[in-house]
């Protein structure tokens, strides 16, 4: 005989009873079947798979070993790189030192050569200066009247401009500039030829004096 609970009063009664002796509540067959299964049986959870855990542990340890090996290789390559860079820099500095030494020697030789050349150039320049002075003396007559506003370079330019326009001017007798600085009066060859050099808005023109 199995005891079951009454649906009405919740007291224990026999599963053979057709009605509850305590409250008179009729007992159905379906309720008897349900109550016979009370209390319910609990199925225990499955045991852990030790083989699977061992595989996971082995896989994790292998991954750790791989990462550890990769880390070691990284540091080894880094150390090799630093050593190679150090030796390369030292060899480069040695080459640079030797090249700078040879460059200094060459520059010293060039300096000596340039010094001698400079002395020669100074002598040549002195000769040219004397020749230019003699030429200027020939261009400008002895008693020539030259405006103070005009320098030697401007005198040369004016004479060159006159000759460029196929006019004759072997020597300057006088040269003066007007107040507006737009016209230059020139007398050449002992006042034999007279010219006017006019500045017309940046363009020079030449005309003969009557």
Decide if pLDDT at 57 tops 70.
Answer: no
User: Poorest-confidence range of 15-19, 98-102, 174-178?
Assistant: 98-102
pTM for this structure? 0.36
Tell me the CA distances in angstroms from 110 to 96, 100, 118, 119, 125, one per residue in order. Answer: 20, 15, 12, 14, 21
Decide if pLDDT at 110 tops 60.
Answer: no
**Tokens of residue 179, six digits:** 């107040």
Beta bridge partners of 172: 140, 188
User: Poorest-confidence range of 4-18, 55-69, 133-147?
Assistant: 55-69
DSSP string across 126-193: HHHHHHHHHHHHHHEEEEEEE-TT--HHHHHHHHHHHHHTT---SSEEEEEE-TTSSEEEEEETTTTE
- For 120-129, write each residue's pLDDT tens digit: 666 665 554 5
Dihedral in degrees, nearest 10, Cα atoms 138, 142, 147, 151: 40
DSSP string across 35-90: HHTPSPPPPPPPPP-HHHHHHHHHHHHHHHHHHHHHHHHHHHHHHHHHHHHHHHHH
- For 175-192, write each residue's pLDDT tens digit: 998 888 889 999 999 999
- For 149-208, write each residue's pLDDT tens digit: 888 888 888 889 999 999 999 999 999 988 888 899 999 999 999 999 998 887 889 888
| CB 12, CB 21: distance < 8 Å | no
The 3-state DSSP class for residue 202 equals coil
Name every residue whose Cβ is closer than 8 Å to that of residue 165 and which is 6 or more positions away in sequence. 206
Decide if pLDDT at 69 tops 80.
Answer: no
């Amino acid at each position: 005989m199995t005891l079951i609970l009454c649906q009405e009063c919740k007291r224990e009664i026999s599963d053979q009873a057709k009605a509850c002796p305590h409250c008179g509540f009729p007992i159905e067959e379906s309720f008897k079947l349900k109550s016979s299964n009370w209390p319910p049986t609990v199925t225990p959870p499955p045991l852990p798979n030790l083989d699977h855990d061992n595989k996971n542990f082995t896989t994790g340890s292998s991954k750790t070993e791989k990462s550890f090996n990769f880390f070691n290789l990284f540091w080894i390559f880094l150390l090799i790189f630093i050593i190679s860079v150090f030796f390369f820099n030292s060899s480069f500095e040695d080459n640079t030192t030797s090249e700078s030494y040879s460059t200094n020697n060459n520059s010293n030789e060039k300096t000596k050569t340039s010094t001698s050349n400079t002395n020669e150039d100074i002598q040549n320049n002195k000769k040219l200066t004397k020749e230019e002075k003699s030429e200027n003396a020939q261009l400008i007559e002895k008693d020539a009247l030259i405006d103070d506003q005009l320098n030697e370079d401007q005198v040369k330019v004016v004479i060159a401009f006159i000759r460029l326009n196929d006019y004759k001017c072997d020597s300057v007798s006088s040269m003066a500039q007007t107040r507006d600085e737009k016209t230059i009066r020139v007398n050449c060859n002992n006042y034999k030829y007279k010219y006017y050099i006019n500045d017309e808005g940046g363009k020079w023109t030449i005309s003969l004096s009557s």
